[in-house]
Amino acid sequence: MAKGWNDERPMSPHLTIWKWHPTMLSSILHRATGIVLYIGLLKICFFLAALAMGPKYFDRVKGIIYSPLGTVAFFVFFGILIYHFLNGLRHLFWDIGKGFDPKFANGLSLAIIVASIVIAAALTYVLVGSF
């Protein structure tokens, strides 16, 4: 019981006492990627606004996109976007009552992480041209 509490109610379990498993990691990553996608969308809006401002800004944005840092940023953004999409499909699968077996759910969580990395690498290579 926490100090300062006057009753005998039990405290809620904390994350540090739970045994980590892929489905738990997947749930946390899904929330985190949603936040990062929101921030990334704002960055994309700024890039599009710069592109609309004329050739000078277009060349500047093009230089950023095709730089090594830009390539890494695209890879990370594509990975996050694809992960969030695939994990959202997993949640829709759960909504119809399928895939609740712990072994299957954990395996699917890991498969989604691996697939996101592979697809993001391929997409970055195709769209940016290097990796």
Q: What is the pLDDT of residues 59-117, one digit of tens each?
A: 998 898 889 999 999 999 999 999 999 999 999 999 999 999 999 999 999 999 999 99
Q: How much is the pLDDT for 3?
A: 62
CB atoms within 10 A of CB 112: 22
Q: How much is the pLDDT for 26?
A: 96
pTM above 0.75, yes or no: yes
Tell me the pLDDT band of 49, cut-offs 50, 70 and 90: very high
For the chain, the structural domain boundaries read 22-128
74-to-61, 111, 131 alpha-carbon distances in Å: 13, 21, 10
Give the Cα-Cα-Cα angle 117, 124, 49 (nearest 5 degrees). 120
The dihedrals phi and psi of 5, each to the nearest 5 degrees, come to -90, 140
Cβ-Cβ contacts under 8 Å for 84 (sequence gap 6 or more): 30, 33, 34, 37
Q: Is 84 annotated as a binding residue?
A: yes
In CATH terms, the fold of domain 22-128 is 3 helical TM bundles of succinate and fumarate reductases (1.20.1300)
Q: Distance of alpha carbon 76 from its chain centroid, rounded?
A: 9
Q: How much is the pLDDT for 51?
A: 84
Q: How much is the pLDDT for 58?
A: 87
Quick one: average pLDDT of 39-61?
90
Q: How much is the pLDDT for 125?
A: 93
